[in-house]
Amino acid sequence: MKCIDVGQIIQTTEELCINANYFLNDDILKSLKDGLSREECQTGRVVLESLVRNAEIAARDEMAICQDTGMAVVFVELGQDVHITGGSLIEAINEGVRRGYKKGCLRNSVVGDPIFRTNTGDNTPAVIHFNIIEGDCLQIEVAPKGFGSENMSSLKMLKPSDGIDGVKSFILDTVDKAGPNPCPPIVVGVGIGGTMEKAAFLAKKALLRPVGENSSVDYVRKLEEEMLESINKLGIGPAGLGGRITALAVNIEVFPTHIAGLPVAVNISCHATRHAKAVL
C-alpha cells in the first residue's frame, strides 16, 4: 500500500490546470501544421497559421491559449492499493483547481446553480470522474473544457436497426449543424454503446486520446478514418470560413450495450483540446 498526501494532489492538480491551459499539446500543434499543407482555402490557411502563432504566444508569455479556460474536467485513475492521507480526495482536487485558476490568471467560468447563475468565483467545482484500477498509482488528468464546443455536442439513442449507417449520419449531422461555432478545426469524440451516460462519458474520454492515434479495434479505426474524411468534405473549414480542414481527428470508443439499444454520443472539442496528466 502507498500513502499519498492530499497536499501532493493539490499541488499536482494546480500545475496541471495551468499547464493544460498554457501549452498546446504537441500532437495538436503537429496536426495544425500538417493541416496547413492540405488546406486549399487561403483564408483557412491564415486561420491555421494564426492558431499556431497563438500557441507560440501563449507558451512564450505563459498565458491561456484561449480565454475560455473551461470547466475543469478531471479524470482520476486511482490504484486500489493507494491510501489517501490528510483529507478528502475530492476536496484536494477542487482546491488544486481553485489555486491553479487563480495563480495562472485563468478565467472563472463556472456558475454555482444552472438556473440562478452566480459565478462561484474560483472555477470550482470540477467535474471529476473516478476509475478504480489495480496497483498503487494515482493518475490525474485535467481536461479543461470550453463551452463553445461543448454546446455543440449531442447524444442520441439510436435503434439497433439504425446500425453503423445511423451512427455515421448522426456524427456527420452533429458536426454539420455545429458549423463554425465550436472553433474548428475540431476534434470529435464519439462514444458508442453502453447506456446513455456511458456513451457520453466515452465520447468525452475519447478526446483524451492523442490526435493521430487511431483505435486498436479494426472496424472502429476504419470508422474513424472514414468519418474524418466525410467531415472534411463538409466545407466548414478553419474558423468556419470555408475550407478542407474542419476536423483534426475523430476518436471513437465503443462499449457493450443492451439488446434494445444503440446509444451514440458526439462530444465536440475545439482546436485546442486541452489535457495534461501526471502520475503520483
Partner 1 sequence: MAHIINTPLSKAQVKELKAGDQVSINGYIYAARDAAHKRMIELISAGRELPFDIKDQIIYYVGPCPAKEGQAIGSAGPTTSSRMDSYAPKLIELGLTGMIGKGLRSKEVIDAMVRFGSVYFGAIGGAGALIAESIKEEELIAFPELGPEAIRKLKVKDFSATVIIDSFGNDLYKIGREKFRL
d(CA 186, CA 6): 35
* Torsion sign (Cα): 81, 144, 118, 182: negative
Secondary structure tally for the chain: helices H, strands E: 8, 10
In the complex with partner 1, which residue's Cβ is closer, 125 or 261? 125
Helices 42-61 and 26-38 pack at an angle, to 10 degrees, of: 160
Kindly tell me which of 47 and 262 has the beta carbon lying closer to partner 1. Answer: 47
Q: Which helix (H) or strand (E) holds 4?
A: strand 2-5
Minimum separation from the CB atom of position 169 to partner 1 (A): 16
Shortest separation between residue 183's beta carbon and partner 1, angstroms: 3
Minimal distance, residue 50 CB to partner 1, in Å: 5
Q: Which helix (H) or strand (E) holds 129?
A: strand 127-133
Q: Which is nearer to partner 1, 183 or 254 (CB)?
A: 183
Long-range contacts of 49-57 (CB under 8 A, 24+ apart): 51/238, 51/271, 55/23, 55/24, 55/29
Residue 167 CB, nearest approach to partner 1 (Å): 21
**Rule CB under 8 A: which residues touch partner 1?**
40-41, 43, 47, 50-51, 53-55, 57-58, 61-69, 105-109, 117, 119, 121, 148, 151, 179-183, 233-237, 239-244, 270-272
Kindly state the smallest distance separating residue 217's Cβ from partner 1, in Å: 28
Radius of gyration of the CA atoms of the chain, in A: 19
Query: Whose Cβ is closer to partner 1: residue 148's or residue 166's?
Result: 148
- The residue (of 65 and 203) whose beta carbon lies closer to partner 1 is 65
- Given CA atoms 250, 253, 259, 263 in this order, what sign does their dihedral have? negative
CB nearer to partner 1: give 52 or 157: 52
Task: Name the phi and psi angles at 106, rounded to 5.
Answer: -95, 150
Least separation in angstroms between CB 35 and partner 1: 14
Q: In what order do the strands lie in the sheet with 127-133?
A: 127-133, 71-79, 138-145, 276-279
Instruction: Work out how close the CB of 34 gets to partner 1 at its nearest, in angstroms, rounded to a whole number.
Output: 17
CB-CB contact of 23 with 59 (8 Å): yes
Dihedral of alpha carbons 155, 159, 162, 165, sign: positive
